[in-house]
Structure 1
Amino acid sequence: MNVLKDISLSAVAAGFVAVLIGFASSVAIVFQAADMAGASEALKVSWIMALGLGMGATCFFLSMWYKSPVITAWSTPGAALLATSLTGASYAEAIGLFIFAGGLMLLLGISGLFDRLMRWIPLPVACAMLVGVLFNFGVAIFTSLETDPLIVAVMIVAYLACKVVLPRYAVIMVLIAGVVMVLLQPHAAFSGIPLSIGSMSFVAPEWNTSLILGVGVPLFIVTLTSQNIPGVAVMRASKYETPVSNIISWTGVTTVLLAPFGGFAFNLAAITAAICSGEECHKDPSKRYIAGLSAGVFYALAGLAGATVVGLFAVFPKTMIAALAGIALLGTISANLKAAFDEERYREPALITFLTTVSGVSFFGVASAFWGICFGLTVLLIQNLKKS
């Protein structure tokens, strides 16, 4: 099998790091959303299992089908929106709006509108938006260094040393260095982690029109602008011409099917996808799909583990996770900075896109990544009108 020939330690590790960062960086927000929806402890475990299995299936099968690293994720901005917007809603009504938002994403995908939308966005502008999304992760290396100097300093030294000796495995060594440092900490409570397999609980939806319009539509928009558009930018920046409308359709289908179990929103990943699509994953772009398969397996295992995963991620300090994410993304940030500002005719639109995105501004509940693209394209349009 070609898959067996294409497997590499660096690609498998990239998939693992993507799952580690994806879960550890935002699982707390997911639980806040579940609490706001009125989920019991059993239902929270169902959320983790549904999300893990959904991401695992989409990562694995889409990466295998398209032979490219297709990385999906739950909608972190969507979870943040739910954590602040579900006051007064019943759990069944929350399930109804999850299904509605997933259905909108499915319609967007099968209509082909998403593909056409992405063709209107020049690569430098998309790269500038991506750098804006990733910028704070790079900065977090040094804010984490200030907060937890010993662990983060060791991770940085491991990275710099491996870039000279074993550049392909630099991120792996950073992960190992971080884990070893955590194990050496006297307060690391690994012994208290529960060992159990999760279970899924079905809840039939109820339909509340005002809730669907007030929360369901914003959930769809936030997921589209904050997750799917940056996710496509990652794929295009890495020269993958995967048909994104098909992928968007599958994430919509997955959301509709798993929403009754707590799978509130699935979408293309951006930050974790960048880890799996860069040179640190594999020098040969045609073999980076292994990272997608790897992420799929690890996501599924994480979903099955349920409470065990939550306990495990609670042991790792936030500073270690933040530094690991930032270091893993250094190559991607650098490459996209170059692509964004390399061509003079796109330089100013790209700069406006970058500054808007990194500012974190939000208008009408829509995230800065969307407005970065809008403002950048507006500047580009004005420039073209001036020339003509």
Structure 2
Amino acid sequence: MRAFAPPASFSAAVVATIIGFGGTVALVVQAGQALGASPSQIISMLAALAIGIGATGAVLSWRLKMPVVLAWSTPGAALLAATTAGYDWATAVGAFVLAGLMMVLTGLIPVLGRLAGRIPAGIAAGMLAGVLLPFCLKLFQALPLDTILIAALVAVFLAFRRLAPVWAVPAVLVVAFAVLAVRGQMALPLDNGLFTRLDPTMPRFDWKAAIGLAVPLYLVTLASQNLPGLVVLKNAGYEPPANKLIFWGGMSSTLMAPFGAHGVNLAAITAAICTDADAHPDAAQRWKVGVLYGLLYLVVAAFIPPLAQLFMDMPAHILASITGLALIAPLTGALTTVFTHEKGREAAILTFVATASGLALFGVGSAFWGLVTGFAALLVLRRN
């Protein structure tokens, strides 16, 4: 019987799954904690994301005959974890639903996609950088609490960034878990059982959360995840149907939002692994890597409780340090975009500063006010 795909395809899918899940799972856990989610709701959040990523990606890869690799919204998770507006979990879930519906409309109505694509890159990057900066600062703020371990984690991160960049964060996780286990600070993560149970929440819709959470979540996911994901597919020689992919990512997000999923979207880094020629020598058959990746995510979804508990039980300062290291590369990319585009640079920097400040007015968080500041500055500066 002929094999579904060569061994290289399986290994590429496994590597992409480990990097995709392990790279920023600590951030998603922090996002849930920041929004007041219970342990069972955080488990449901991760499981819903994994199901959306796995099922939607596998079906799209099979139907479109191209490796459609999905991921959760990393900048979206950072946005949620950084919010200071005091939203509760039900209100946050309502914002997830609204952000998903906005993505669905973007896929259905081509003009919306074109308008969203015209958002100045510097403004979008400034908001993203402002969201990410506080997490990276916490890495060094936590250093006095456990100097030797955190310094070791930074050293491991830098060594792998030089030798094998995509493995840097997974290597940090392995070292952190190993040291904590030796110290007796990690127990067998079985308090919540072995198998996943989804925990639905009735969404609560609030205008402040719609403006301060849903709109920034939609914009940062579109600009920092979906658009780069389309570029990866194009660079690999495919002609991705942009509207269809954005629509189904938004639909998956909307359907899984009541279970805690904040955003399912196209991947970039993991997509690059699955679309590379090393994953399958025949580009026409490379869609099978996307199917394998999706199936692996469904397997992960089934065993979320012990995986999530590892991070929920981790000392807060170590969790913050791992999150900070995981966001160094995205912060670097966002700041590069802010400073690369000379036109509108001051507006982008104002967006960055306003967002990073943590400003909250009228119950609306800093990401929204960062966008308002940036667009206002851009309007004034262009008139001059």
TM-score by length of 1: 0.71
Equivalent-residue separation in structure 1 for 2:329 and 2:211 (angstroms): 29
Task: Deviation per CA, 1:233-270: give whole Å up to 9, x if none.
Answer: 323467557766545533443355446xx425542579
Would you say the 8 A contact 2:169–2:326 is kept in 1?
yes
Matched residue type, 2:25: L
Per the alignment, residue 18 of structure 2 pairs with 13
Task: Deviation per CA, 1:25-80: give whole Å up to 9, x if none.
Answer: 234356x3569xxxxx7x88766644542343345556785646532359767798
1:5–1:137: structure 2 CA closer, same or farther, 3 Å change rule?
same
Given the alignment of the two structures, is residue 225 of structure 1 paired with residue 230 of structure 2, yes or no?
Answer: no
Per the alignment, residue 267 of structure 1 pairs with 263
Secondary structure of the equivalent of 2:343? helix
Question: Which shifted more, 315-324 or 77-86?
Answer: 77-86
Matched residue type, 1:128: G
1:283–1:367: structure 2 CA closer, same or farther, 3 Å change rule?
farther
**Equivalent in 84, 88, 99 of residue 84 of structure 1:** 88
Would you say the 8 A contact 2:358–2:365 is kept in 1?
yes
5 Å matches for 1:58-207? 58=56, 61=59, 67=67, 69-73=69-73, 84=88, 103=101, 106-112=104-110, 114-190=112-188, 193-200=191-198
Q: What stretches of structure 1 of length at least 5 have no aligned partner?
A: 36-40, 88-93, 206-210
State percent identity of aligned pairs. Answer: 25
Task: Deviation per CA, 1:258-289: give whole Å up to 9, x if none.
Answer: 46xx425542579xx676579xx7996997x9
Would you say the 8 A contact 1:19–1:299 is kept in 2?
no
Would you say the 8 A contact 1:52–1:304 is kept in 2?
no
Matched residue type, 1:72: W
Given the alignment of the two structures, is residue 320 of structure 1 paired with residue 318 of structure 2, yes or no?
Answer: yes
Would you say the 8 A contact 2:110–2:243 is kept in 1?
yes
Q: What stretches of structure 2 of length at least 5 have no aligned partner?
A: 235-239, 280-286
Per the alignment, residue 224 of structure 2 pairs with 234
Equivalent-residue separation in structure 2 for 1:250 and 1:176 (angstroms): 34
Secondary structure of the equivalent of 2:263? strand
Q: CA deviation at 1:106?
A: 3.4
1:97–1:371: structure 2 CA closer, same or farther, 3 Å change rule?
closer
Per the alignment, residue 374 of structure 1 pairs with 372
Would you say the 8 A contact 1:78–1:222 is kept in 2?
no
Matched residue type, 1:190: L
Question: Which shifted more, 188-197 or 73-82?
Answer: 73-82
Per the alignment, residue 248 of structure 2 pairs with 250
Would you say the 8 A contact 2:95–2:213 is kept in 1?
no
Task: Deviation per CA, 1:316-351: give whole Å up to 9, x if none.
Answer: 333333222322332332233122112322221111
Q: How many residues align?
A: 359
Report the RMSD for the aligned CA atoms in angstroms: 4.6
1:145–1:246: structure 2 CA closer, same or farther, 3 Å change rule?
farther
1:83–1:340: structure 2 CA closer, same or farther, 3 Å change rule?
closer
Secondary structure of the equivalent of 1:25? helix
1:52–1:275: structure 2 CA closer, same or farther, 3 Å change rule?
same
Q: CA deviation at 1:352?
A: 0.9
1:34–1:154: structure 2 CA closer, same or farther, 3 Å change rule?
closer
